[in-house]
Structure 1
Amino acid sequence: MKPLWRLNKYLYRYKLYLILGIIFTFISNIFVIIPAQLVRIAIDYVVESFSFYRLYEGSPFSEEARSVFLKFILVFGVLILGMALLRGFFLFLIRQTIIAMSRHIEYDLKNDIYSHYQQLPLDFYRKNSTGDLMARITEDVSKVRMYLGPAIMYGINLLILFPMVIGYMFSVNVPLTIYSLLPLPVLSLSIYVVNNMINERSEKIQRSLSELSTFVQEAFSGIRVIKSFVRETDSGRDFHKASEDYKDKSIRLTLVQSLFYPLILALIGLSVIITVYVGGIQVIEGAIGYGVIAEFILYVNMLTWPVTSLGWVTSIVQRAAASQTRINEFLDEKSDIKSSEHLDTVIDGSIKVEDLTFVYPDSGIKALDGVSFDVEAGQSLAVIGTTGSGKSTIANLVMRMYDATSGKIYIDGRDIKTYDIAALREQIGYVPQDVFLFSDSITNNIGFGLGEITDQTVIEQAAKDADVYDNIINFPHGFDTRLGERGITLSGGQKQRVSIARAVAKAPKILLLDDCLSAVDTKTENAILNALKGIMEGRTSIIISHRVSSAKLADIIIVLDDGRIIEKGTHDALLERKGVYADLYEKQTQQAKEVEED
């Protein structure tokens, strides 16, 4: 239960629901016990009245006696029906309090987890898969809700009903109570064992089904490759194996499930038989009336479900504890990226980097080693290098997605760690290499950084600045065009320019372009570069690229290799030096000419 203690704050938050649920459960159980007593009284009355009625049979008073007899039977029937209706009403109120409470807590818990996820650093997302994050906020929370709803509801019912019913049974007849309850502990233990077997086999089936679904998804996604290499037969054989495994596990689960209800019915029947047998002996001896046997059979049936649910509830609690442990693992993750002074001020955009070194904590790879450079406000810097040279790491450190292992970054002469993180990032426009657009309208994608209030004029101007306005207005729905997943309905160049427009729309003081032209052709690149000239004007810009064509726009160029700066200067100065940059320029220029000739 220890992992579930963290949920106590939510139970306290909705304590009114819980208290009302307990009260309604108590009242509901009163209307369970009273009908059983009425049945006992009614049966005893019928037996005694029938004997009395036979004395008047054939006399002038027989009809009157019969009328009185039926009248009392009708009264008992109406009372029992009324009790059943009242119990049903309070059962409705129990679900409207305890189950509703579990839904409120589920809502709060999901929001708290999601909010916590967003506060965690980028390193957290490098270590954990998206599927795992989704599983904990959906499947694990659902299992926890089962504990907060049905498990608590049936648990409270068990704690209230058991003392009430057993206490009353002992007050009526102690020996009969002991004998009639003998099979119930065996029933509870049996249900617990069977439930554990069902849960264990269900989890195996879920894993098998997940593997089967993954296999089918990959097969259909890669159908061209399968057909090209003529592997249809092998693929079918592998599917048959995976499907056979799923079938075998399903049959084994069905075998266990088939034991469930027969086991319950057998033990309930045994309890009823013992009650009737022991009660019958006591009736013969004259110790009790016939009504007591009927009353005790009703009590046994009342206790059957709570006792049966005990094993089920225990299983739910175990699964919820395991799920909450998984949730707690992520909730206990803390972000080490914090602001020292929470400085919230408008920046000019000057950047100074001193002896910056960074090692990725998850892999231990040194991405930067003693990097230093200065960019004045309004200037532009190009960072050139091959894949893995540490270019993108600079952008991540400037945005404080990570903190440097050693060295300092200053913005406007202040340590970057003094700024409020959100306030700093709001003044930085970022265009990633891997463009991500949301499944939403173009307007909302471009205005994503503007918050809830979007100005259409600002959005249209950003589209013009990014040279994508003409493309957008030619779409049938213009700026209201909804994009597919990850912007799949747009071409590569259009996605890049919409991404640039999104960064520009927020009027950033610092603009980071992280190899954003790597996936476009030369013609599209030239169009985007022409657009960037105007966008970069008056803004501090850092252009990260492996293409020298992008670097020509910058005032200063640095060349990285294996995390170190090996060259620094202007475009013309680096060409005159005839070093690494000049070689890259010559090779890429030659390649561009060959492409144009082709």
Structure 2
Amino acid sequence: MTHKREYTVETEYTYDRASPARWIVSHALRYPHLPAGMVLLGILSTALGTQAPVALGRAFDHVLSPGRNARTLLLLSLSVLGFWMGQAALDVIHRVFSELLSRRVQRDAREELFVHLLGKSLAFHSRQQVGDLMARATDDPRTLNYMFSPTLRGFVLWVAQLSLVVVTIGTIHPHLALVPLVFVIALAWTLYNYIRQFAPIAEAQRAQFGVMSARLAQSISGIEVVKSSVQEGAEWRRFRTDASRWRDLYVRWGEILAQPLPLLVYYGTLAFGFVHALVLYVQGMISLGEVIALMGLLGQLEATTVSAVGMFSLFTRGVASARRILDMVNAETELDENPAGVARPMRGEVSFENVSFAYDSNPVLCGISFRAHPGETIAIVGQTGSGKTTLVRLVNRIYDACEGRVLVDGVDVRRWNLTSLRSQVSTIEQDVFLFARSIGENIAFGAGREVAQGEIERCAREAEADEFIARLERGYETIVGERGVMLSGGQRQRVAIARAFLADPRILILDDSTSAIDSATEDRIQTAMRRVNAGRTTFLITHRLSQIRRADRILILRRGELLDQGTHEELMQRCATYRRLFARKAAERRPTTDDGRLSTPAES
């Protein structure tokens, strides 16, 4: 099954994602020598283990026989020791194979999910909870790991031991195989019922862990709001409720595990097997040594029985985790990277042709048409909610238009190679995101190449960021913290502007990018921007009148429609809406006197 994706890895391995079971098997078969080795080693190890009681029984028969001799007893004793030591050695190697496979599957599943999350659209991510995604990417692969070690290793030994014990007992005397055969059937029925009870609880456990993780992530990421609103108690109560639900599911899980039915089946088998063997012994059909061998073989089934319930409980958890991972991997996304699409340096011409867009069923843009020529600066103004940010997000295909076309250099953006398109478009938003890395790394992020320190410092100077960076103890090596919390809003915006300068885009989108910067610094940045933006197409969303007036063209949006467009002078003459917007913003910027009145030019 092929899904649209915005990002792929060339060397990516293809897994069978039709169902959780097939996906798990395809992960294991990526390393065929490991599961094959586990099966072979499991059979050999179990075979040696089942021969030890047989050799022990022969030793007893030899002791009781008239023609016993020390040499034969020594050989039989050494054979028992050899079987046990051989089983132990093979079991160690078996564990190594199991651990190698489980760790590789865990790593591969985590990488597969991460690559697919990178390839999902922004619309997809806006519907997800970060904490739940983190749980799927970290804890669910770990649970999947347990499905291979110890579960798969235990399952191989379990099947091998049940089979070989029944066969070996049958070789002692065919009648003796009846009781262990009944045991196998009874145990299989018991475990089937356990799985039916475990499966829904395992699904609920994994889902509740995601809910709890999402709650934790949300509370921590919004800790400033929590504290300023004095809501620590409310958040604690919500988290405690989620944690209690998770605990209750584990209590229910433990209640099922504690049910003694498998052990009752085993001890019943042991009793009936012993009685049956004694009857055959009294009838002279088997020897005392064969009775001892039978009891030794049946004794090996105790550990198998005890481990079976826990093993299958881990199996159901692994399937539940696999389903959660696959839900994200197989989730449909709206965009495709279009690897065979147009990939060339762009001039920067942008055209909207009767473009409409809606979030689900909520219309945001309706019938937008305009053209931005290469090197032109387009200011977009309108009231909050008029669709300004949505409009510019259609340029680099963060979203795709629902109707109409968006063209770059005369080519529909859907025909562009997504990497080529986005690498030539840079966006600076009001809410700047910085990674918890150094300032230098944040500036270099997005360049797509090795960046010299001199280039980083040059772009920082052009963005008026070098002055505050120089005052920091570690300069460009300063770690900015999660989301850049160690820097002020204005400092973060200047780092983002430096990052955009370094990316050297053909199209630059500035979405209120200097809102947290003082006027004097903004003037210096705007001077630098006009210098570096020569030949670049720039879309400008701002409340700063000075920037709006300098734009080559201004688009007026109202309720998702393009009301008018033109230069500042043209719009002041013919567009009443623009005059009102401009007058309102001018009034907001005028200082007031001590009594609260707007000052006149003479007063200010």
Task: Please indicate the TM-score interval, normalised by the length of the shorter structure.
Answer: 0.7 to 0.9
In the aligned structure 2, how far is the partner of 1:209 from the partner of 1:340? 37
Q: Deviations over 1:154-179 (max 9, x none)?
A: 33333433332212211212333323
2:415 to 415, 418, 424: 418
Instruction: Report the counterpart of residue 392 of structure 1 in structure 2.
Output: 389
Distance in 2 (CA, whole Å) between partners of 1:217 and 1:568 is 41
Write out aligned runs for 1:240-255 (5 A). 255=255
C-alpha distance after superposition, 1:193-231 (max 9, x if no partner) = 456656766776777787778489859946646759xx9
Query: Does residue 345 of the first structure (1) align with residue 344 of the second (2)?
Result: yes
Percent identity, please: 26
SS at match of 1:450: coil
- 2:87 aligned residue: 87
- After alignment, is 26-35 or 459-468 more displaced? 26-35
Which is worse superposed, 241-250 or 434-443?
A: 241-250
Native 8 Å contact 1:184 1:307 kept in 2:
no
Per-residue deviation, residues 406-437 of structure 1 (Å, max 9, x unmatched): 22223223333332110111111111232111
Provide, for residues 467-487 of structure 1, a one-character-per-residue CA deviation record: whole Å limited to 9, x for no partner: 101111211111111111000
Of 297, 300, 304, 1:299 maps to 297
Aligned to 1:106: 106
Please, what TM-score do these two structures have when normalized by structure 2?
Answer: 0.84
Tell me, what secondary structure is at the counterpart of 2:29? helix
| CA displacement, residues 11-70 of structure 1 (integer Å, 9 cap, x when unaligned) | 332112222222222221221122121111122223336xx79xxxxxxxxxxxxxx54x
Q: 2:30 aligns with which of 13, 17, 39?
A: 13
Partner of 1:116: 116
Q: Kindly indicate whether the alpha-carbon contact (under 8 Å) linking 2:195 and 2:312 is maintained by their aligned counterparts in 1.
A: no
AA matched with 1:462: C
More moved, 154-163 vs 190-199 = 190-199
Q: Residue 169 of structure 1 contacts residue 177 of structure 1 at CA under 8 Å; is this kept in 2?
A: yes
CA RMSD of aligned residues (A): 3.5
Output the CA distance in 2 between the equivalents of 1:249 and 1:5.
Answer: 27
User: What does the per-residue CA deviation read over 1:216-273, in whole Å, with 9 as the maximum and x for residues that have no partner?
Assistant: 9859946646759xx96x889888877877776666555544445xx55544333333
> 1:340·1:417 contact (CA, 8 Å) conserved in 2?
no
In the other structure, the counterpart of 1:430 is 427
Question: For 2:459, which of 462, 479, 494 is the aligned residue?
Answer: 462
TM-score normalized with structure 1 length: 0.84
Pair 1:285–1:33, CA change in 2 (3 A) = same
| Distance in 2 between residues matched to 1:532 and 1:140, nearest whole Å | 47
TM alignment of 1:71-86, pairs within 5 A: 72-86=72-86
1:292 is paired with a residue whose SS is helix
Which structure: greater helix fraction? 1
CA contact under 8 A between 1:268 and 1:301: conserved in structure 2?
no
Structure 1 CA distance for aligned equivalents of residues 240 and 386 of structure 2? 46
Distance of aligned partners of 1:198 and 1:286 in 2 relative to their CA distance in 1, 3 Å threshold: same
1:17 alignment partner, SS class: helix
Partner of 1:325: 323
> Is 394-403 or 319-328 further displaced after alignment?
319-328
Bigger Rg, which one: 1
Q: Does 1:3 align with 2:1?
A: no
**Aligned length in residues:** 574
Change in CA separation of 1:254 and 1:338 when aligned onto 2, cut-off 3 Å? closer
What is the SS of the residue equivalent to 2:344? coil
Q: Which residue of 2 aligns with 1:32?
A: 49
- Inter-partner Cα distance in structure 2 for 1:92 and 1:435: 53
The equivalent residue for 1:356 is 355
Match of 1:533 among 494, 519, 530: 530
Deviates more, 1:540-549 or 1:308-317: 308-317
Q: Is 2:584 aligned against 1:567? A: no
Determine the structure 2 residue equivalent to 1:588. 585
Q: What is the match of residue 64 of structure 1?
A: none
- Structure 1 position 107, deviation (Å): 2.1
Letter in 2 for 1:418: R
For 2:339 and 2:75, locate their aligned partners in 1 and report how far apart those are by CA, in whole Å: 78
Letter aligned with residue 270 of structure 2: V
Instruction: Tell me how far 1:148 sits from its aligned partner.
Output: 4.4
Structure 1 residue identity aligned to 2:581: L
Question: Gapped runs of 5+ residues in structure 1?
Answer: 54-67
Query: In 2, Cα distance between the equivalents of 1:326 and 1:460?
Result: 45
SS of 2:550's equivalent in the other structure is coil
Measure the CA separation in 2 of the matches of 1:451 and 1:555: 31
Q: What's the offset of the Cα at 1:379?
A: 1.6
Q: Is the 8 A contact 1:144 1:320 kept in 2?
A: yes
1:57 alignment partner in structure 2? none
The 1:206/1:517 distance shift into structure 2, 3 A limit, reads same
Q: Corresponding residue for 1:62?
A: none
Instruction: Give the whole-Å Cα distance in 1 for the aligned partners of 2:250 and 2:24.
Output: 34
